[in-house]
Structure 1
């Protein structure tokens, strides 16, 4: 007998092979979600490995050791679409079509389209790049411009895909690492983060525009409430993980009908640094199944 809940996970594994060495398979067997979206597979198709009890749809992209998305489902999906087979039509995304950043599946057991996204990390605009304040070599704002162009194109693509799901009688759920923290509760040290990539005003405003009661709803914030957290990413460096100094850049954004069925949210943060599967932790949401 099917469960009355649909459990959906979004998890940036930061390399599926490395995550497996750290215990990913044990976590998956214990958690046993219905749907799990993965980002940053960072491997060729033949090295993704087995997911017992699941059908895995994926797009690893063409850049060795980079990107890659997958969606594992308990039942074979009714349909699968990736940018590799169904190139994005929105202007500004064609350069990313072969990079393994976006995947959609239509669930077979629920009228839901689940989309998995790994959004570019980006960088700082040139005027914020100062010697000593960035880890990477200054690039004159090239990565920042690339990310902003992606965001402009993806907003159009997202709207098109959301409406296509609605016309097909399906709810729509976007999960993934968006590399944007939306509000002050999503970053531990939010004041300092205002001049960091991922929390720039223009990035947060972009996410604002994707959310509305009639379009997409941030179910994690709705369920968790107006308080700090939940965090999903902590730097490997220093004591960030132990001190719980991190960001929420992983999201589940649902169409209104599905959002109304969201019941609980949790983050599977490991007990200690030695047990970490990734620099991210799985973001888990439970939805009531359609009656």
Structure 2
């Protein structure tokens, strides 16, 4: 089995101070895709190049203390790609791809952090620009290789993906345009689709147990007023190998919960 985890750290220094490294040692994923590292190369080099014996590979934002993604792995990649070719968003450290190619296969694990538009119209417009640029990249990648993308997508796709969907229909993360983007991406017959939401394949009707993020406002976590923002998105051949999933809601090293999927293959 290949155990793959996705986790928005909300800062690697904060998460490690709250025990994420011990949790990784206990759960032993083969790869863990992380988002919102919120550190630069110099910060990582002195402390976080490895976690729990796993080697890290990163794409940092130019802005200090902002964004940044990484993948920690027990397996040596055949290639590492940082960024997806967008000058605007590659500067924000939102994409890293590890390739594990052999003569018999082309396979990638990707960690991605989609922009949030919750701070205002300017960032919402940036989010739309990201989605517009990222979709053709995903389609081109799908045409060339199998992959699993793990990440904080910052979109709750369906009504069952957040607690209060009625009151959030005009809020970033549940806007009609964002949800339509996801619908197209996951469409089984649209040539602009073809990816699989692995959690929903395994848990098609889960509601309260599906959430991976809770606001720090009020008693959102205590009352499980959450959103499902963290995904495994896979090409159909790899999605078909997904066997079990687990969302670790009770872990407290971030405002996001880790989501792990076990896949029936090995690198």
Normalised TM-score (structure 2): 0.91
1:166-181 correspondence runs (5 A):
171-181=146-156
1:23-38 correspondence runs (5 A):
23-38=19-34
Q: In the TM superposition, what is the alpha-carbon distance from 1:290 to its structure 2 partner?
A: 6.0
Mapped to 2, the partners of 1:111 and 1:46 lie a distance apart of 32
Q: 1:130-187 CA deviation, whole Å, 9 max, x = no partner? A: xxxxxx5xx5x2222111111111111111122222xxxxx21111001001111110
Where has structure 1 moved over 6 Å in runs of 4 or more?
none
Q: Which runs of 5+ in 2 are unaligned?
A: none
Q: Which residue of 2 aligns with 1:77?
A: 77
1:152-163 correspondence runs (5 A):
152-163=132-143
Given that 2:34 and 2:69 are in contact with CA atoms closer than 8 Å, whether structure 1 keeps it comes out as: yes
Residue among 113, 117, 121 paired with 2:116: 121
Q: Which runs of 5+ in 1 are unaligned?
A: 124-135, 166-170
Q: In the TM superposition, what is the alpha-carbon distance from 1:52 to its structure 2 partner?
A: 3.5
Residue among 106, 118, 128 paired with 1:148: 128
Given that 1:262 and 1:285 are in contact with CA atoms closer than 8 Å, whether structure 2 keeps it comes out as: yes
Q: Which residue of 1 aligns with 2:107?
A: 112
1:280 and 2:256 correspond: yes
Q: In the TM superposition, what is the alpha-carbon distance from 1:221 to its structure 2 partner?
A: 0.7
1:224 and 2:203 correspond: yes
Mapped to 1, the partners of 2:39 and 2:10 lie a distance apart of 10
Q: How many residues align?
A: 256
Superposed CA RMSD in Å reads: 1.8
Q: 1:49-96 CA deviation, whole Å, 9 max, x = no partner? A: 13232121111121100000001111111111012xxx51xxxx3211
Normalised TM-score (structure 1): 0.83
Go from structure 1 to structure 2 and tell me whether the alpha carbon gap of 1:108 and 1:161 turns closer, same or farther (over 3 Å shift): closer
